[in-house]
Structure 1
Amino acid sequence: MFLLAFLALIVERLTGYPDWLFKLIGHPVTWIGRLISQLDTRWNRDTDDFEIRKRMGIAALAVVIVVVILIAAVLQDVLLVIPLGPILLILIAASLPAQKSLERHVREVASSLKHGGLPAGRRAVSRIVGRDVQDLDEAAICRAAIESLAENFSDGVVAPAFWMGIGGLPAGAAYKAANTADSMIGHRSPRHEAFGWAAARFDDVINLPASRLTAVLFVAAAFFVRDASPLNAIKAIRRDAKHHRSPNAGWPEAAMAGALGIALAGPRSYGGQMIEASYMGEGGRRELVYDDIHDALKIARIADALLIGLFGVLAFFMWQV
């Protein structure tokens, strides 16, 4: 199914997910989100103890994944045998990766900073990060945007394409369902610490291969970007990735930081509470500017092209077998 992933990446890279289609029918993630929200409302009861809520969270995750796999499997089987069905299958698969929207949102942060100053930059970055933004200066806004680019390139582009290549539309959709569950309920909050435990742990496992592949892609992309350093990217991965609070996010963030000679991650505030976190990369802790976002986007665009090329090669060899 690497051919499906390859074609889906190309289509999404060129067209994105059309706004008119989103307004008309929504997006697969919104459909999955409604199911997760319903299960959270009905099964995550405040009156239950920790262990019961944890078991109900496991059951909820299983229901979401099984439902999504069954629907996607039936859809794929049907579309592969009807006229023009394969084209529709590719269009549906193209809704899973988010290359174009990720790039657009990150670019908007740089543009907002340049033309609207700090208030506009804070508004733009608040759309792609969960941290407190009201006190961020230009350097912190740029750091947040580049971190989001690196991490979301891994779990929003590479991971769905990887799993689609492994198991077709059902595997790609199942990944998207699990990742959506993690983003909605996989938090260490009083309400979701127990119910979202399974979603958070499962998301860590399924993102492991993509995070490592993303780091490799960023290292390779650094060869093609002026003043970027693939060697420093490798050094940063080896030195810093293991110190990140996430078992996966540190890989792409360290690779991006090392390649550009900057520092990412570090302390940040969530809900008024300062969270201590290790830095990824060094860069002399220099103050970042909006041009650094453009440099990070160059790395990501080349990495995306390398990913598409890799899947094209894999699809070709699988076709020959």
Structure 2
Amino acid sequence: MLESWLAWSEPLSLLIALVIDACYGDPVALYRKLPHPVVVIGNAIGWADRVFNREADAPRRRRNAGIALVVLLVAAALAVGGVIQALLLALPLGWLWLGMVMSALIAQRSLYGHVADVARAIEVSGLEGGRLAVAKIVGRDPNRLDRAGVSRAAIESLAENFSDAVVAPAFWALLLGLPGLVAYKAINTADSMIGHRSPRHRDFGWAAARLDDLVNWPAARLSAFLILLGALLLPSADAPKALAVTLRDARRHRSPNAGWPEAALAGALGFALNGPRAYHGVPTDEPWTHKTGRKTLDAPDIWHALRLYLRACLLLGIGVTAVAVIGH
């Protein structure tokens, strides 16, 4: 009986989390008094980076230190998530409290808001406003971007983070409950902080980057599938083209995962994404995704991409609902 209840409560709690996040986003007032869980994780990673990633150490020693950090981080996340889940499910309406906690680690609404801010900034303040807004969500040099580049960067961020910040957390929560969700966020945060190819983090962040690639593998493919299905619900989108571009271009992306949702969105909306850009002043010759698509993107195209994103999020919720019903 208990195992059956737990199997049902987790997808139900995840569904509640998706609904709460879609409707309300992060409880800003709460996080003025308490740190966000991701901030706590980030502080721990930052401390370990300062203490154990010593430039005087040999590359092998720095890599081993990074591996140890990831192992301890994941173990701690699983343990903390497991204890919190057990305590919450022991309460009356525990599945509801669990859903409220899970909602803090899913970013549907905040992702929509950040990308929509770029579109609004372009409309109100032109190129300079768009550059300031997009700098908050991408790592490339905003001052090198023209209006189309700013729009393209926002749309690419939307596609990639649909996988990383929405689908992947939901996937691991569905599979392993709150422990899986917390562990995923710990891995993803570690990758964003130390999983770089810079001289400082090439070795220390190696394990974080490789593990992040692994845990995002299923979600990236699922994200592309949800975008493809979402294109069927958006009259101005092209679902067959989304499939064709995904199968052709997804593997050409420098990331083993980001190319999947980006290719699906590019094909669905007829956009050319990725291509050459610069990070920290260093130009990179990235291949185009859907090279024959339209490159002159602008604020209306960001809104178009957001409409497709909303449909993909809705389909994710329907899928989780189906799992909850079947599990019950």
TM-score (norm: length of structure 2): 0.95
The answer to whether the Cα contact below 8 Å between 1:3 and 1:165 also exists between their aligned partners in 2 is: no
* Cα deviation digits, residues 187-235 of structure 1 (max 9, x gap): 0011100000000000000000000000000001111112210011001
The answer to whether the Cα contact below 8 Å between 1:235 and 1:258 also exists between their aligned partners in 2 is: yes
- Equivalent position amino acid for 1:93 in 2: M
1:279 maps to 2:288: yes
- Equivalent position amino acid for 2:128 in 1: P
1:262 to 271, 287, 297: 271
Aligned to 2:228: 219
Aligned to 2:85: 76
* Cα deviation digits, residues 20-74 of structure 1 (max 9, x gap): 1121112110000011111111111111100010000000011111111111101
The answer to whether the Cα contact below 8 Å between 1:257 and 1:282 also exists between their aligned partners in 2 is: no
1:127 maps to 2:113: no
Segment of structure 1 superposing worse, 250-259 or 23-32: 23-32
Segment of structure 1 superposing worse, 178-187 or 284-293: 284-293
1:18-29 to structure 2, matched below 5 A, reads 18-29=27-38
- Give the length in aligned residue pairs: 319
The answer to whether the Cα contact below 8 Å between 1:4 and 1:164 also exists between their aligned partners in 2 is: no
Aligned to 2:7: none
CA RMSD of aligned residues (A): 1.0
**Which ranges in structure 2 are unaligned for 5 or more consecutive residues?**
1-9
The answer to whether the Cα contact below 8 Å between 1:61 and 1:178 also exists between their aligned partners in 2 is: yes
The alpha carbon displacement at 1:285 in A equals: 4.1
1:168 to 160, 177, 201: 177
2:105 to 96, 105, 122: 96
Instruction: Name the SS of the counterpart of 2:143 in structure 1.
Output: coil
1:306 maps to 2:286: no
Percent identical pairs in the alignment equals 47
Aligned to 1:291: 300
1:249 to 252, 255, 258: 258
- Once residues 90 and 217 of structure 1 are traced to their aligned partners in structure 2, the CA distance between those partners, rounded to angstroms, is 22
- Equivalent position amino acid for 2:31 in 1: F
Aligned to 1:186: 195
* Cα deviation digits, residues 156-196 of structure 1 (max 9, x gap): 00000000000000001100000000000000011100000
The answer to whether the Cα contact below 8 Å between 1:4 and 1:165 also exists between their aligned partners in 2 is: no
* Cα deviation digits, residues 78-133 of structure 1 (max 9, x gap): 11112354332211111111000000000010000001111100000000000000
Aligned to 1:206: 215
**Which ranges in structure 1 are unaligned for 5 or more consecutive residues?**
none
Instruction: Name the SS of the counterpart of 1:274 in structure 2.
Output: strand
1:154 maps to 2:163: yes
TM-score (norm: length of structure 1): 0.97
CA spacing shift, 1:284–1:87, aligned 2, 3 Å: closer
- Once residues 207 and 309 of structure 2 are traced to their aligned partners in structure 1, the CA distance between those partners, rounded to angstroms, is 30
Aligned to 1:63: 72
